[in-house]
A and B are shown apart, each in its own frame.
Chain A
Protein backbone atom coordinates (compact mmCIF):
# COMPACT_ATOMS: atom_id res chain seq x y z
CA UNK A 1 0.00 0.00 0.00
CA UNK A 2 1.37 3.40 -0.95
CA UNK A 3 1.70 6.11 1.65
CA UNK A 4 1.86 9.02 -0.73
CA UNK A 5 -1.26 10.35 -2.37
CA UNK A 6 -1.71 9.19 -5.94
CA UNK A 7 -1.34 12.49 -7.82
CA UNK A 8 -3.23 14.25 -5.00
CA UNK A 9 -6.16 11.85 -5.37
CA UNK A 10 -5.63 9.57 -2.40
CA UNK A 11 -7.21 6.16 -2.29
CA UNK A 12 -9.94 5.49 0.24
CA UNK A 13 -10.17 1.83 1.25
CA UNK A 14 -13.20 0.66 3.18
CA UNK A 15 -13.77 -2.90 4.33
CA UNK A 16 -16.44 -4.57 2.25
CA UNK A 17 -16.71 -1.67 -0.18
CA UNK A 18 -15.27 -0.74 -3.53
CA UNK A 19 -12.21 1.46 -3.01
CA UNK A 20 -12.29 4.89 -4.58
CA UNK A 21 -10.05 7.86 -5.06
CA UNK A 22 -10.83 11.06 -3.23
CA UNK A 23 -10.99 14.00 -5.61
CA UNK A 24 -10.81 17.37 -3.85
CA UNK A 25 -12.07 19.07 -7.00
CA UNK A 26 -15.34 17.15 -6.72
CA UNK A 27 -15.92 16.86 -2.98
CA UNK A 28 -15.29 19.20 -0.08
CA UNK A 29 -15.16 16.45 2.51
CA UNK A 30 -14.56 12.75 2.85
CA UNK A 31 -18.20 12.36 3.85
CA UNK A 32 -19.39 13.83 0.55
CA UNK A 33 -17.09 11.47 -1.34
CA UNK A 34 -18.33 8.49 0.66
CA UNK A 35 -21.93 9.43 -0.08
CA UNK A 36 -21.16 9.86 -3.78
CA UNK A 37 -19.75 6.33 -3.77
CA UNK A 38 -22.78 4.96 -1.95
CA UNK A 39 -20.91 4.10 1.22
CA UNK A 40 -23.46 4.02 4.07
CA UNK A 41 -22.34 6.50 6.70
CA UNK A 42 -24.15 8.02 9.65
CA UNK A 43 -24.02 11.78 9.95
CA UNK A 44 -25.90 14.52 11.73
CA UNK A 45 -24.48 18.02 12.02
CA UNK A 46 -22.02 17.77 9.14
CA UNK A 47 -19.97 20.44 10.89
CA UNK A 48 -17.64 18.59 13.24
CA UNK A 49 -19.37 19.12 16.54
CA UNK A 50 -21.77 16.20 16.99
CA UNK A 51 -19.48 13.24 16.37
CA UNK A 52 -22.13 11.13 14.68
CA UNK A 53 -19.96 10.41 11.64
CA UNK A 54 -16.92 9.29 13.66
CA UNK A 55 -15.09 6.53 11.78
CA UNK A 56 -12.07 4.48 12.80
CA UNK A 57 -9.09 4.45 10.49
CA UNK A 58 -6.49 1.72 10.20
CA UNK A 59 -4.00 3.99 8.52
CA UNK A 60 -3.75 7.25 6.60
CA UNK A 61 -3.85 10.93 7.40
CA UNK A 62 -6.54 13.54 7.09
CA UNK A 63 -6.63 17.30 7.20
CA UNK A 64 -9.41 19.28 8.89
CA UNK A 65 -10.63 22.59 7.48
CA UNK A 66 -11.59 23.73 10.98
CA UNK A 67 -10.73 22.27 14.36
CA UNK A 68 -13.59 19.87 15.11
CA UNK A 69 -14.95 19.72 18.64
CA UNK A 70 -16.73 16.38 18.65
CA UNK A 71 -15.23 13.65 20.81
CA UNK A 72 -13.09 11.20 18.87
CA UNK A 73 -10.67 8.55 20.01
CA UNK A 74 -7.13 8.10 18.75
CA UNK A 75 -7.38 6.78 15.23
CA UNK A 76 -10.91 8.05 14.65
CA UNK A 77 -11.77 10.78 12.17
CA UNK A 78 -14.81 12.91 11.40
CA UNK A 79 -15.38 12.51 7.65
CA UNK A 80 -17.87 15.40 7.52
CA UNK A 81 -15.16 18.00 7.89
CA UNK A 82 -11.90 16.48 6.76
CA UNK A 83 -10.19 15.41 3.57
CA UNK A 84 -7.61 12.64 3.20
CA UNK A 85 -4.05 13.74 2.51
CA UNK A 86 -2.71 10.22 2.05
CA UNK A 87 -4.23 6.88 1.12
CA UNK A 88 -6.51 5.92 3.96
CA UNK A 89 -8.26 2.78 5.23
CA UNK A 90 -11.56 3.15 7.05
CA UNK A 91 -13.20 0.62 9.33
CA UNK A 92 -16.91 -0.06 9.09
CA UNK A 93 -18.90 -1.49 12.01
Chain B
Protein backbone atom coordinates (compact mmCIF):
# COMPACT_ATOMS: atom_id res chain seq x y z
CA UNK B 1 0.00 0.00 0.00
CA UNK B 2 1.48 3.27 -1.10
CA UNK B 3 2.11 5.66 1.73
CA UNK B 4 0.35 9.00 1.74
CA UNK B 5 0.61 11.71 4.37
CA UNK B 6 -3.15 12.15 4.38
CA UNK B 7 -5.12 9.15 3.28
CA UNK B 8 -8.43 10.00 1.66
CA UNK B 9 -9.93 6.68 2.81
CA UNK B 10 -12.97 7.28 4.99
CA UNK B 11 -11.76 4.63 7.37
CA UNK B 12 -12.60 3.88 10.96
CA UNK B 13 -9.34 4.11 12.91
CA UNK B 14 -10.86 1.94 15.62
CA UNK B 15 -10.96 -0.94 13.17
CA UNK B 16 -7.44 -0.54 11.77
CA UNK B 17 -4.59 -2.78 12.86
CA UNK B 18 -1.63 -1.18 14.66
CA UNK B 19 0.50 -1.53 11.49
CA UNK B 20 0.00 -2.24 7.79
CA UNK B 21 -3.53 -0.84 7.64
CA UNK B 22 -4.52 2.44 6.02
CA UNK B 23 -2.06 5.24 6.74
CA UNK B 24 -3.28 7.52 9.52
CA UNK B 25 -5.16 10.57 8.33
CA UNK B 26 -6.78 12.58 11.11
CA UNK B 27 -4.72 12.80 14.27
CA UNK B 28 -7.38 12.51 16.91
CA UNK B 29 -7.06 11.43 20.49
CA UNK B 30 -10.69 11.43 21.59
CA UNK B 31 -10.97 7.75 20.85
CA UNK B 32 -8.45 4.93 20.73
CA UNK B 33 -8.38 1.37 19.61
CA UNK B 34 -5.64 0.91 22.20
CA UNK B 35 -5.94 3.51 24.98
CA UNK B 36 -2.59 2.38 26.38
CA UNK B 37 -0.72 4.36 23.73
CA UNK B 38 -2.67 7.51 24.59
CA UNK B 39 -1.83 6.94 28.27
CA UNK B 40 1.83 6.51 27.37
CA UNK B 41 1.82 9.79 25.42
CA UNK B 42 0.28 11.61 28.37
CA UNK B 43 2.75 10.09 30.79
CA UNK B 44 5.76 10.88 28.60
CA UNK B 45 4.61 14.47 28.16
CA UNK B 46 4.24 14.77 31.91
CA UNK B 47 7.82 13.53 32.29
CA UNK B 48 9.24 16.22 29.99
CA UNK B 49 12.54 17.60 31.21
CA UNK B 50 15.39 19.66 29.87
CA UNK B 51 18.99 18.64 30.48
CA UNK B 52 19.91 22.20 31.45
CA UNK B 53 17.69 21.89 34.52
CA UNK B 54 20.30 19.57 36.00
CA UNK B 55 23.41 21.05 37.52
CA UNK B 56 26.43 19.01 36.48
CA UNK B 57 29.11 21.44 37.66
CA UNK B 58 30.39 19.22 40.47
CA UNK B 59 30.79 16.33 38.02
CA UNK B 60 33.63 18.16 36.31
CA UNK B 61 35.69 18.11 39.47
CA UNK B 62 34.71 14.51 40.23
CA UNK B 63 35.66 13.34 36.75
CA UNK B 64 39.06 15.00 36.80
CA UNK B 65 39.83 13.35 40.11
CA UNK B 66 38.79 9.87 38.96
CA UNK B 67 41.60 7.38 38.35
CA UNK B 68 42.17 6.67 34.65
CA UNK B 69 40.44 3.29 34.66
CA UNK B 70 37.30 4.81 36.20
CA UNK B 71 37.34 7.62 33.67
CA UNK B 72 37.43 4.88 31.04
CA UNK B 73 34.39 3.21 32.59
CA UNK B 74 32.46 6.46 32.81
CA UNK B 75 33.28 7.88 29.40
CA UNK B 76 32.84 4.56 27.56
CA UNK B 77 29.36 4.26 28.98
CA UNK B 78 28.55 7.79 27.96
CA UNK B 79 29.74 7.07 24.41
CA UNK B 80 27.62 3.95 24.30
CA UNK B 81 24.50 5.71 25.49
CA UNK B 82 25.14 8.45 22.95
CA UNK B 83 25.13 5.77 20.27
CA UNK B 84 21.91 4.21 21.55
CA UNK B 85 20.02 7.46 21.77
CA UNK B 86 21.36 8.64 18.42
CA UNK B 87 19.73 5.57 16.92
CA UNK B 88 16.59 5.85 19.02
CA UNK B 89 16.08 9.53 18.30
CA UNK B 90 15.48 8.80 14.63
CA UNK B 91 14.79 5.13 14.00
CA UNK B 92 11.33 4.62 15.50
CA UNK B 93 10.15 7.46 13.29
CA UNK B 94 11.92 6.37 10.13
CA UNK B 95 11.12 2.68 10.51
CA UNK B 96 7.68 2.70 12.05
CA UNK B 97 5.84 5.82 10.87
CA UNK B 98 5.46 4.58 7.28
CA UNK B 99 3.76 1.45 8.61
CA UNK B 100 1.61 2.59 11.53
CA UNK B 101 -2.14 2.81 11.00
CA UNK B 102 -3.69 4.10 14.24
CA UNK B 103 -3.29 7.71 15.41
CA UNK B 104 -2.54 7.04 19.07
CA UNK B 105 0.32 4.74 18.15
CA UNK B 106 1.62 7.09 15.45
CA UNK B 107 1.80 9.94 17.94
CA UNK B 108 3.26 7.69 20.64
CA UNK B 109 6.09 6.77 18.21
CA UNK B 110 6.81 10.46 17.59
CA UNK B 111 6.64 11.32 21.28
CA UNK B 112 8.92 8.41 22.11
CA UNK B 113 11.51 9.36 19.50
CA UNK B 114 11.36 13.00 20.59
CA UNK B 115 12.10 12.07 24.18
CA UNK B 116 15.15 10.15 22.96
CA UNK B 117 16.47 13.35 21.40
CA UNK B 118 16.26 14.99 24.82
CA UNK B 119 18.48 12.17 26.08
CA UNK B 120 20.96 12.86 23.28
CA UNK B 121 20.98 16.54 24.21
CA UNK B 122 21.68 15.62 27.80
CA UNK B 123 24.81 13.70 26.81
CA UNK B 124 26.14 16.79 25.06
CA UNK B 125 25.33 18.76 28.21
CA UNK B 126 27.33 16.32 30.36
CA UNK B 127 30.24 15.88 27.95
CA UNK B 128 30.64 19.62 27.37
CA UNK B 129 30.79 20.07 31.07
CA UNK B 130 33.35 17.44 31.95
CA UNK B 131 35.90 17.59 29.12
CA UNK B 132 37.59 20.49 27.35
CA UNK B 133 37.12 19.01 23.89
CA UNK B 134 33.80 17.17 23.39
CA UNK B 135 34.85 16.25 19.84
CA UNK B 136 37.36 13.67 21.11
CA UNK B 137 34.51 11.80 22.74
CA UNK B 138 31.91 12.11 19.99
CA UNK B 139 34.41 11.25 17.26
CA UNK B 140 35.50 8.06 19.00
CA UNK B 141 32.00 6.64 18.85
CA UNK B 142 32.40 5.79 15.17
CA UNK B 143 36.02 4.72 15.62
CA UNK B 144 35.74 2.49 18.67
CA UNK B 145 35.42 -1.17 17.66
CA UNK B 146 33.69 -2.23 20.84
CA UNK B 147 30.99 0.38 20.34
CA UNK B 148 30.64 -0.28 16.63
CA UNK B 149 30.08 -4.00 17.29
CA UNK B 150 26.99 -3.21 19.24
CA UNK B 151 25.85 -0.52 16.81
CA UNK B 152 25.81 -3.07 14.02
CA UNK B 153 23.58 -5.46 15.94
CA UNK B 154 21.06 -2.82 16.81
CA UNK B 155 20.78 -0.86 13.61
CA UNK B 156 20.53 -3.89 11.33
CA UNK B 157 17.05 -4.78 12.53
CA UNK B 158 15.88 -1.24 11.86
CA UNK B 159 17.74 -1.07 8.55
CA UNK B 160 16.30 -4.41 7.37
CA UNK B 161 12.78 -3.29 8.17
CA UNK B 162 13.27 0.10 6.50
CA UNK B 163 14.62 -1.54 3.35
CA UNK B 164 11.88 -4.19 3.23
CA UNK B 165 9.20 -1.55 3.74
CA UNK B 166 10.66 0.58 0.98
CA UNK B 167 10.72 -2.33 -1.43
CA UNK B 168 7.22 -3.43 -0.48
CA UNK B 169 5.83 0.04 -0.98
CA UNK B 170 7.70 0.53 -4.22
CA UNK B 171 7.14 -2.86 -5.88
CA UNK B 172 4.31 -4.53 -4.01
CA UNK B 173 4.16 -8.26 -3.33
CA UNK B 174 5.64 -10.87 -5.61
CA UNK B 175 8.85 -11.50 -7.44
CA UNK B 176 10.57 -8.52 -9.06
CA UNK B 177 13.75 -7.94 -11.01
CA UNK B 178 15.58 -4.89 -9.77
CA UNK B 179 17.41 -2.48 -12.10
CA UNK B 180 20.64 -4.07 -10.83
CA UNK B 181 19.54 -7.42 -12.26
CA UNK B 182 18.93 -9.02 -8.86
CA UNK B 183 15.64 -10.75 -8.22
CA UNK B 184 13.79 -10.15 -5.00
CA UNK B 185 10.76 -11.83 -3.53
CA UNK B 186 8.51 -9.55 -1.52
CA UNK B 187 5.70 -10.68 0.71
CA UNK B 188 3.74 -8.69 3.23
CA UNK B 189 4.27 -11.50 5.69
CA UNK B 190 8.04 -11.13 5.49
CA UNK B 191 7.77 -7.40 6.20
CA UNK B 192 5.54 -8.16 9.20
CA UNK B 193 8.15 -10.64 10.40
CA UNK B 194 10.86 -7.99 10.16
CA UNK B 195 8.66 -5.57 12.10
CA UNK B 196 8.16 -8.11 14.87
CA UNK B 197 11.89 -8.84 15.15
CA UNK B 198 12.69 -5.14 14.96
CA UNK B 199 10.37 -4.38 17.87
CA UNK B 200 11.91 -7.25 19.80
CA UNK B 201 15.37 -5.80 19.20
CA UNK B 202 14.20 -2.34 20.28
CA UNK B 203 12.76 -3.85 23.44
CA UNK B 204 16.16 -5.44 24.11
CA UNK B 205 17.89 -2.13 23.50
CA UNK B 206 15.74 -0.23 25.95
CA UNK B 207 15.12 -2.93 28.52
CA UNK B 208 18.58 -4.45 28.75
CA UNK B 209 21.31 -2.48 27.01
CA UNK B 210 20.35 0.81 28.59
CA UNK B 211 20.06 -0.76 32.03
CA UNK B 212 23.64 -2.03 31.84
CA UNK B 213 24.75 1.57 31.37
CA UNK B 214 22.46 2.78 34.12
CA UNK B 215 24.06 0.34 36.54
CA UNK B 216 27.46 1.96 35.96
CA UNK B 217 26.19 5.51 36.38
CA UNK B 218 24.44 4.63 39.59
CA UNK B 219 27.47 2.77 40.90
CA UNK B 220 29.38 6.06 40.71
CA UNK B 221 26.51 7.91 42.36
CA UNK B 222 26.41 5.39 45.20
CA UNK B 223 29.89 6.70 45.99
CA UNK B 224 28.61 10.28 45.65
CA UNK B 225 30.53 10.79 42.45
CA UNK B 226 29.16 12.12 39.16
CA UNK B 227 25.89 12.92 40.84
CA UNK B 228 24.75 15.40 38.20
CA UNK B 229 25.12 12.64 35.63
CA UNK B 230 23.16 10.29 37.91
CA UNK B 231 20.30 12.78 38.14
CA UNK B 232 20.14 12.90 34.37
CA UNK B 233 20.32 9.12 34.13
CA UNK B 234 17.40 8.85 36.56
CA UNK B 235 15.35 11.05 34.27
CA UNK B 236 16.43 9.01 31.26
CA UNK B 237 15.62 5.75 33.05
CA UNK B 238 12.19 7.07 33.91
CA UNK B 239 11.54 7.68 30.19
CA UNK B 240 13.04 4.32 29.15
CA UNK B 241 10.68 2.50 31.49
CA UNK B 242 7.79 3.94 29.50
CA UNK B 243 9.44 3.01 26.23
CA UNK B 244 10.02 -0.58 27.20
CA UNK B 245 6.46 -0.79 28.45
CA UNK B 246 5.30 0.42 25.04
CA UNK B 247 7.21 -2.23 23.09
CA UNK B 248 6.06 -4.87 25.56
CA UNK B 249 2.48 -3.86 24.84
CA UNK B 250 3.05 -3.85 21.06
CA UNK B 251 4.73 -7.26 21.08
CA UNK B 252 2.12 -8.81 23.32
CA UNK B 253 -0.79 -7.33 21.37
CA UNK B 254 0.77 -8.77 18.22
CA UNK B 255 1.35 -12.17 19.79
CA UNK B 256 -2.24 -12.38 20.98
CA UNK B 257 -3.50 -12.13 17.40
CA UNK B 258 -6.34 -9.82 18.41
CA UNK B 259 -4.99 -7.02 16.28
CA UNK B 260 -3.79 -9.05 13.30
CA UNK B 261 -4.20 -12.84 13.37
CA UNK B 262 -1.22 -13.28 11.06
CA UNK B 263 1.00 -11.59 13.65
CA UNK B 264 0.14 -14.30 16.18
CA UNK B 265 1.45 -16.92 13.75
CA UNK B 266 4.57 -14.83 13.13
CA UNK B 267 5.16 -14.47 16.87
CA UNK B 268 5.14 -18.24 17.23
CA UNK B 269 7.44 -18.69 14.21
CA UNK B 270 9.83 -16.09 15.64
CA UNK B 271 9.90 -17.58 19.13
CA UNK B 272 13.30 -19.25 18.68
CA UNK B 273 14.80 -16.31 16.82
CA UNK B 274 13.58 -13.87 19.47
CA UNK B 275 14.98 -16.04 22.27
CA UNK B 276 18.32 -16.12 20.46
CA UNK B 277 18.20 -12.33 19.97
CA UNK B 278 17.93 -11.81 23.72
CA UNK B 279 20.60 -14.35 24.50
CA UNK B 280 23.00 -12.90 21.94
CA UNK B 281 22.43 -9.35 23.17
CA UNK B 282 23.09 -10.46 26.74
CA UNK B 283 26.39 -12.06 25.69
CA UNK B 284 27.34 -8.85 23.88
CA UNK B 285 26.58 -6.82 26.98
CA UNK B 286 28.79 -9.15 28.99
CA UNK B 287 31.60 -8.60 26.47
CA UNK B 288 31.01 -4.91 26.94
CA UNK B 289 31.30 -5.34 30.72
CA UNK B 290 34.68 -6.99 30.13
CA UNK B 291 35.77 -4.02 28.05
CA UNK B 292 34.55 -1.52 30.64
CA UNK B 293 36.46 -3.10 33.47
CA UNK B 294 39.56 -4.15 31.50
CA UNK B 295 41.81 -1.71 33.34
CA UNK B 296 40.27 -2.20 36.75
CA UNK B 297 36.96 -2.28 38.54
CA UNK B 298 35.34 0.07 41.00
CA UNK B 299 33.72 -0.14 44.40
CA UNK B 300 30.28 -1.65 44.08
CA UNK B 301 30.70 -2.92 40.52
CA UNK B 302 33.01 -5.19 38.61
CA UNK B 303 32.84 -7.41 35.58
CA UNK B 304 31.41 -10.39 37.45
CA UNK B 305 28.68 -8.45 39.19
CA UNK B 306 27.71 -6.58 36.04
CA UNK B 307 27.57 -9.82 34.05
CA UNK B 308 25.28 -11.31 36.69
CA UNK B 309 23.10 -8.23 36.45
CA UNK B 310 22.95 -8.63 32.65
CA UNK B 311 21.74 -12.21 33.08
CA UNK B 312 19.25 -11.25 35.77
CA UNK B 313 17.72 -8.35 33.86
CA UNK B 314 17.65 -10.36 30.61
CA UNK B 315 15.59 -13.04 32.34
CA UNK B 316 13.13 -10.49 33.69
CA UNK B 317 12.70 -8.84 30.29
CA UNK B 318 12.34 -12.15 28.42
CA UNK B 319 9.52 -13.27 30.65
CA UNK B 320 7.76 -9.96 30.10
CA UNK B 321 7.47 -10.74 26.37
CA UNK B 322 6.52 -14.37 26.80
CA UNK B 323 9.95 -15.93 26.28
CA UNK B 324 11.58 -18.48 28.59
CA UNK B 325 14.47 -17.38 30.79
CA UNK B 326 17.88 -17.76 29.19
CA UNK B 327 20.01 -17.86 32.34
CA UNK B 328 20.13 -19.51 35.73
CA UNK B 329 20.76 -16.27 37.63
CA UNK B 330 17.64 -15.53 39.62
CA UNK B 331 18.65 -12.81 42.04
CA UNK B 332 19.54 -9.22 41.45
CA UNK B 333 23.23 -8.85 42.38
CA UNK B 334 22.87 -5.08 42.71
CA UNK B 335 19.60 -4.44 44.54
CA UNK B 336 20.75 -0.89 45.29
CA UNK B 337 20.05 0.03 41.68
CA UNK B 338 16.32 -0.08 42.33
CA UNK B 339 16.38 2.92 44.63
CA UNK B 340 17.71 4.96 41.73
CA UNK B 341 15.06 3.63 39.38
CA UNK B 342 12.10 4.37 41.65
CA UNK B 343 10.14 7.20 40.18
CA UNK B 344 8.76 9.24 43.02
CA UNK B 345 12.16 10.30 44.27
CA UNK B 346 13.35 11.84 41.01
CA UNK B 347 14.18 15.45 41.71
CA UNK B 348 16.30 17.99 39.97
CA UNK B 349 16.06 20.84 42.44
CA UNK B 350 19.43 22.60 42.45
CA UNK B 351 19.51 22.67 46.21
CA UNK B 352 19.56 18.86 46.17
CA UNK B 353 22.97 18.72 44.53
CA UNK B 354 25.97 19.52 46.65
CA UNK B 355 27.64 22.40 44.91
CA UNK B 356 31.34 22.08 45.57
CA UNK B 357 32.31 25.47 44.26
CA UNK B 358 32.08 26.62 47.86
CA UNK B 359 34.83 24.22 48.83
CA UNK B 360 38.10 25.88 49.68
CA UNK B 361 40.95 24.97 47.42
CA UNK B 362 38.76 23.61 44.62
CA UNK B 363 38.16 26.92 42.94
CA UNK B 364 40.59 29.80 42.69
CA UNK B 365 38.98 32.50 44.81
CA UNK B 366 41.74 35.06 44.53
CA UNK B 367 40.76 38.27 42.81
CA UNK B 368 43.38 40.61 41.40
CA UNK B 369 43.04 44.31 40.69
CA UNK B 370 43.87 43.42 37.08
CA UNK B 371 40.76 41.24 36.90
CA UNK B 372 38.69 44.37 37.15
CA UNK B 373 40.79 46.36 34.68
CA UNK B 374 38.25 46.07 31.89
CA UNK B 375 35.44 47.63 33.88
CA UNK B 376 34.76 51.28 33.44
CA UNK B 377 32.19 53.38 35.21
Q: Which of A42, A44, A67, A93 contacts B241 (CB 8 A)?
A: A44
Which of B36-44, B181-189, B358-366 contacts the other chain?
B36-44
| CB closest residue in chain B, given A54 | B320
B343 with A45: CB separation less than 8 A: yes
Inter-chain contacts of B275 with A (CB < 8 A): none
B residues 311-340 in Cβ contact with A at 8 Å: 316, 319-320, 330-332, 338
B129 within 8 A of A: no
- Residues of B within 8 Å of A44, CB to CB, are 241, 338, 341-342
List residues of B (230-257) whose CB comes within 8 Å of A's CBs.
Answer: 238, 241-242, 244-245, 248-249, 252
Closest A-chain residue to B256, C-beta based?
A73
With A49-B43, A69-B245, A93-B330 known as contacts, the answer to whether A43 contacts B316 (CB < 8 A) is no
Given contacts A52-B316, A54-B320, contact A47 B245 (CB under 8 A): no
> In whole Å, how far is B214's beta carbon from the nearest beta carbon of chain A?
10
Query: Does A7 make an interface contact (CB < 8 A)?
Result: no
Which residues of chain A are within 8 angstroms of B242 by Cβ–Cβ distance? Answer: 49-50, 69
Confirm or deny: A9 has a beta carbon within 8 angstroms of a beta carbon on chain B: no
The docked-state distance in angstroms from the alpha carbon of A42 to that of B238 is 16
A71 in the interface, Cβ–Cβ < 8 Å?
A: yes
Q: How large is the interface on A (under 10, 10 to 19, 20 to 34, 35 or more residues)?
A: 10 to 19
Q: How far is the CA of A71 from the CA of B344 in the complex (A)?
A: 20
Residue from B40, B241, B252, B330 within 8 A of A45 (CB atoms): B241
- Asked if B330 and A50 make an inter-chain contact with CB atoms under 8 angstroms apart, the answer reads no
CB-CB under 8 A from B43, the residues of chain A are 49, 69
Label chain B's interface by main secondary structure: helix
**Contact check: which of B40, B320, B331, B344 meets A46 at CB < 8 Å?**
B344
Q: How far is the CB of A75 from chain B (nearest CB, A)?
A: 14
A34-54 interface bits toward B, Cβ cutoff 8 Å, 1 = contact, 0 = none: 000000101111110111101
Closest residue of chain A to B341 (Cβ to Cβ) is: A44
Question: CA–CA, A93 to B330, complex, Å?
Answer: 9
Does A70 have its Cβ within 8 Å of any Cβ on chain B?
Answer: yes
Collect the chain B residues with CB atoms within 8 Å of residue A47's CB: 342-344
Q: Please tell me if the beta carbons of B344 and A51 are within 8 angstroms of each other in the complex.
A: no
B248 touches A45 (CB 8 A): no
Are the CB atoms of A71 and B249 closer together than 8 Å? yes
Q: How large is the interface on B (under 10, 10 to 19, 20 to 34, 35 or more residues)?
A: 20 to 34
CA–CA, A46 to B241, complex, Å? 11
Which of A45, A52, A93 contacts B238 (CB under 8 A)? A45
B320 touches A51 (CB 8 A): yes
CA distance A24 to B115 in the complex (A): 37
With a CB–CB cut-off of 8 A, which chain B residues contact A70?
A: 245, 248
Using A52-B316, A69-B36 as known contacts, say yes or no to A46 and B252 having CB atoms under 8 A apart.
no
Interface residues of B in 22-66 (CB under 8 A from A): 36, 39-40, 43
Name the one of A40, A50, A54 contacting B331, with C-beta atoms under 8 angstroms.
Answer: A40
Across-interface contacts of B338 in A (CB, < 8 A): 42-44
Is the CB–CB distance between B341 and A51 below 8 Å? Answer: no
Given contacts A49-B241, A51-B320, A54-B320, contact A43 B249 (CB under 8 A): no
In the docked arrangement, what's the CA distance between A51 and B39, Å? Answer: 15
* A 38-93 contacts with B by CB, 8 A: 40, 42-47, 49-52, 54, 67, 69-71, 73, 93
Q: Are B248 and A51 in contact (CB under 8 A)?
A: yes
Contact B342 A51 (CB under 8 A): no
Chain B residues positioned under 8 Å from A67 (CB to CB): 39
Report the bound CA distance from A45 to B211 in whole Å: 13
Central interface residue in A52, A54, A67, by most chain B CB within 10 Å: A52
B341, A45: Cβ atoms under 8 Å? yes
Contact A42 B332 (CB under 8 A): yes
Interface contact B342-A45, CB-CB below 8 Å: yes
Selected A-B contacts with CB under 8 Å, 17 pairs: A42-B316, A42-B332, A42-B338, A43-B342, A45-B341, A45-B342, A46-B342, A46-B343, A47-B344, A49-B43, A49-B242, A49-B343, A50-B245, A50-B341, A69-B40, A69-B242, A71-B320
Besides A46-B342, A71-B248, 4 more A-B contacts (Cβ < 8 Å) are A44-B338, A50-B241, A69-B40, A93-B330
